[in-house]
Amino acid sequence: MSRLKDPDYPVWVCDTCGQNFGGWYKKGYYVGPPHHYPTYHNGACGVCGSENIPVTAPRNFGHLRARWRAAIIKRKNKMS
């Protein structure tokens, strides 16, 4: 399923989740484009659920690797 058609794919991601699940981070190191500057605004992270924190679009982290879904499932199970 593509990211655009996946209803669970986050619209906004915080910096911590972006670094943990983003495609441009390998073992904690940034490996993306050398001159990439994302813009942030205060909002809610679609992965960890934190609110009123700086968030940006997942594309600014090279989109999210498959492990993000497990984090969302874990968060939803805690809420139940």
| Residue boundaries of the structural domains of the chain | 3-79
pLDDT > 60? residue 1: no
Task: Report whether 25 contacts 68 (CB < 8 A).
Answer: no
Half-sphere exposure (CA, 13 Å, Cβ side) for 70?
5
**pTM for the whole structure:** 0.84
Q: Give tens-digit pLDDT for 9-54.
A: 999 999 999 999 999 999 889 999 999 999 999 999 999 999 999 9
Buried residues in 13-51 as b, exposed as e (16+ CB within 10 A): bbbebbebbbebbeeeeeeeeeeeeeeeeebebbbbeee
pLDDT at residue 45 in the model:
96
pLDDT at residue 2 in the model:
62
- How many CB atoms are closer than 10 A to CB 71? 19
The structure tokens listed for 70 are 């497990």
